[in-house]
Every structure is written in structure tokens, then in C-alpha cells.
Amino acid sequence: MVVAATGATAPAPRARRRPTGLAGAAIGVLAAGAAAGVVVERLAMGGGVRRRARLALEFGGPYGTLRGTPGTAFAEDGTALHYEVDEAPVAVPEPAPPRRRRLFGGRREQAVRPAPVTVVFSHGYCLNQDSWHFQRAALRAAGVRAVYWDQRSHGRSGRGVTRAQQGPPVTIDQLGRDLKAVIDAAAPTGPLVLVGHSMGGMTVMALAEQFPGLVRERVAGIALVGTSSGGLADVHFGLPAIGVNAVRRLLPGVLRALGRRADLVERGRQATADVLAGIVTRYSFASAEVDPVVARFAERMIESTPIDVVAEFYPAFDAHDKTAALARFHGLPVLIVAGEGDLVTPVGHSEAMARELPDAELVRVPDAGHLVMLEHPEIVNARLADLLARAGAPSGAATVGSHGSTRGTARPQRAEPPRSQ
């Protein structure tokens, strides 16, 4: 089933340290998966608007402030993976009925309450768990148990130990094993709904490929948001072919060089601040009018990713191919969400996944870019609520769609009713 949806406007993520200068342009491009040739377009919003947005966000903005019970899982190489759990409210048990005397002895069987559904959120490249801000607010209000985690070297998680020791490059398969470690620590029992955006969706596919038993026995639903099962080497990011080819040849080496001079990158960050803001906006959103505070929120998250981490992860995407792993999701409720204006993981990649999963719900969101869950949270939340209901989450999840914002920056709009293709 294919659904066309109408949208709303929403927010973006949080930071750790700001790499810019020459690398600032590169990180902005890469953080959204784009290429350095975009810099010449100078798509920056006005400096006055950016300053007001920065003040609004950094002095009272609500985005990135939702926190849960923290925990740490450890990857197979010892990398510390930070996660947070939002627990479902504990139901007050009904009084037990009067105990009856049993004539023939024996123990009375006690009913075992099933473990609640846990929704596990995996974020994208150069972002962190705060990129799920609107979904987190909604699920918290709906009383759904959820786990949010930071991928290795992102957010509050530790730097990848293997790579820091000059080990092999980061792979998507490794991220899948990291997700398994988080599940073992934060949700060791009970049904799961796995939600992944961009690199996080690839992480979910890698988990399924390597741990089919876990998917078969415990996974009750899958949501793939703005992601791809492969073929990213052919994405042109809205640039002319000649520019893309040049960038593909030069960018890996440029990033490696910049990664070795992170201190220099940090000192030069102000030089390209406005250009970076324009690049982030172009490759994160497609709406004509994105709330500047939301755009600044996204920019701040992306800025927080050190340039050496950008360089470390970038090569993994060209090698990514998990089309075969999608077969692990057959028979499960699957939601695929794509922004029709996504230049990073174009809508055609979501359509390709839907062809592999003909029973999946494919939602194409007009006027939406790569960060669709921040740009149009009402639509994403409503579809996620439906998925959770099918996966057996509490009935309160049906109200998820009504929680698009915590400060009124989003303009709620209804999604169109599904129409079959």
C-alpha cells in the first residue's frame, strides 16, 4: 500500500563540538550525505535570521531536552554505547480475588503479564538520539516503553574503540551488532518494534541479517524512515553528474586529511558558518518555510559530530547493500516513510524497499526532505501510532499522532487517508 501524506513543520537535533572551517562545509554536506560542490550555491539563510534562531534555541528552546533513564551497553570491541529508556507507566494491579480452598491440593497457576512492547529508535549519520524529539514526546505522552540510543562515536556514546586503535573501518554490519548489544542491555525480553532513520535504518537491516532468530522470535514491527537498502553510490544529491563524480573522487581523501587536523578545523569553524547553515537546510528539509529554530536544532546536532568521525563513517555507505536482509521482515508489519524531496536517500530507494516488501505500508510525504520526522512530525507520528497498534502496543499509542510539538512550532495537518496502488 502506498500513502501520500500532507505535512507540517518541525524540529532538528543537538551537539557536542562544532567542526567547521573548510571542514564545516564538508561536514554539512556529508552529514546529510551531500557533496562539496553545493557550497558554490551559498544557500545560507540571512545572518540576522540565523542569530535569532540560535538565541531562540539556546536560550529556552525545548528541542533535545527530553531525557530518560540512562544506561550503557558495551559493543563487542568495548565501545560504550549510551542509551536512555522511557518506561511505560506501571499499571496498578487489580485486587486479587478471594482465595479459594482447593480440594485436591496443587498450586494455583498465576497469570503472567506479558512484557510490554519496547520501541527501539536508531538515529542517522551525524545526528544523535535527540533527532527523535517529536516522536519521543508523543510516545512518552502515550505511555509507550521506548529506548533511544546514540550510535558509536555519536552523541553521548564513546568513540569507537576498534577504529581509535587503527583497526578496520566502520561497517554497517558493526552497527547492527551494536544495536544487538543495546537491545540485550535495555530490552532483553518482550516484543520489539525497531525504528531507524537513514543510517539507523541500515543498522536495523544489518541486525536482521546477522540475528534472524531475534527478528523471528521478538520483533513485532519495523519502521524504516528516510533510508536505503543499497545503491547509495549512485545518488547524485541534486547536483550535476560531473560535479558528483568529481566529489566522489576527491571527498574521501579530503575528509581523511581534515580528520587528521581536527584542531585546525575547529579553529576555522566560523568562516563557513552561514554556508554550513544553508547546506544543512537544503539537505535536511524540503519545505518552503522551515522554522529557523528547527533548522538551527538540526545544524547544532550535525555540528557536534567531529570531522574525524565524519571521515570514519563515510566510506561505509558506498559499500552498504542490505537488500537481501529485507526478506527477514516478511510477515511483519512494516512502515516505510520517505520525503519526496529527500536528496540524500531519494524516494526511489524507499520504493525499491517496498517492492521487496509488497505488504509494507509506503508513505511518501510531499514537501519533505531527509529529516522528515522533524519536518513533518504529525505525519510520522500518526503512521507510527498505527504501526504500534498493529504490533500490540498499548491502546494509548493511538493518540501519538496528536502530539507533534512541545512548543507550538509545528503546524499540525492531517495525513491523507490511505489509498491503494
Tens-place pLDDT, residues 139-158: 999 999 999 999 999 999 99
Share of the chain above pLDDT 90, in %: 51
Better pLDDT: 312 or 278: 312
**Which three three-digit cell numbers place residue 9?**
513543520
The predicted model gives 122-141 an average pLDDT of 96
Q: Using CA atoms, how far apart are residues 72 and 82, in angstroms rounded to an integer?
A: 5
Residue 277 near residue 295, CB atoms below 8 Å: yes
**pLDDT score for 106:** 52
**pLDDT score for 289:** 79
Q: Using CA atoms, how far apart are residues 189 and 170, in angstroms rounded to an integer?
A: 29
| DSSP label at residue 376 | S
Q: Any residues with CB less than 8 A from the CB of 377 and at least 6 apart, and which?
A: 8, 10, 11, 134, 135, 138, 404, 405, 410
pLDDT at 293 over 90: no
Min mean pLDDT across 85-99, 215-229, 230-244, 377-391 is at 85-99
Q: Using CA atoms, how far apart are residues 337 and 326, in angstroms rounded to an integer?
A: 15
Q: 329-349, pLDDT tens digit by residue?
A: 999 999 999 999 999 999 999
**pLDDT score for 12:** 41
**pLDDT score for 401:** 59
Closest by CA to 284, choosing from 275, 292, 295, 269, is: 295
**pLDDT score for 402:** 55
Question: Beta strand pairing status for 219-225 and 192-197?
Answer: parallel
**Which three three-digit cell numbers place residue 309?**
568521525
**pLDDT score for 205:** 98
Residue 373 near residue 404, CB atoms below 8 Å: no
Whole-structure pTM value:
0.78
pLDDT at 233 over 90: no
Question: Beta strand pairing status for 118-122 and 145-149?
Answer: parallel
Better pLDDT: 374 or 310: 374
Q: Any residues with CB less than 8 A from the CB of 148 and at least 6 apart, and which?
A: 68, 83, 84, 86, 121, 123, 129, 132, 136
Q: Which helix (H) or strand (E) holds 312?
A: helix 307-313
Residue 10 near residue 404, CB atoms below 8 Å: yes
Mean pLDDT of the chain: 78
Better pLDDT: 134 or 62: 134
pLDDT at 137 over 90: yes
pLDDT at 76 over 50: yes
pLDDT at 109 over 80: no
**Which three three-digit cell numbers place residue 119?**
520501541
Q: Any residues with CB less than 8 A from the CB of 358 and at least 6 apart, and which?
A: none
**Which three three-digit cell numbers place residue 236?**
547524485
Whole-number Cα distances in Å, 212 to 215, 372, 390: 5, 29, 21
Residue with cell 495537518: 413
Better pLDDT: 30 or 291: 291
Better pLDDT: 221 or 288: 221
Residue 397 near residue 385, CB atoms below 8 Å: yes
Residue 352 near residue 229, CB atoms below 8 Å: yes
Min mean pLDDT across 43-57, 108-122, 285-299, 314-328 is at 43-57
**Which three three-digit cell numbers place residue 117?**
512492547
The predicted model gives 378-404 an average pLDDT of 80
pLDDT at 406 over 70: no
**pLDDT score for 24:** 40
pLDDT at 207 over 60: yes
Phi, psi at residue 362, to the nearest 5°? -100, 120
pLDDT at 325 over 90: yes
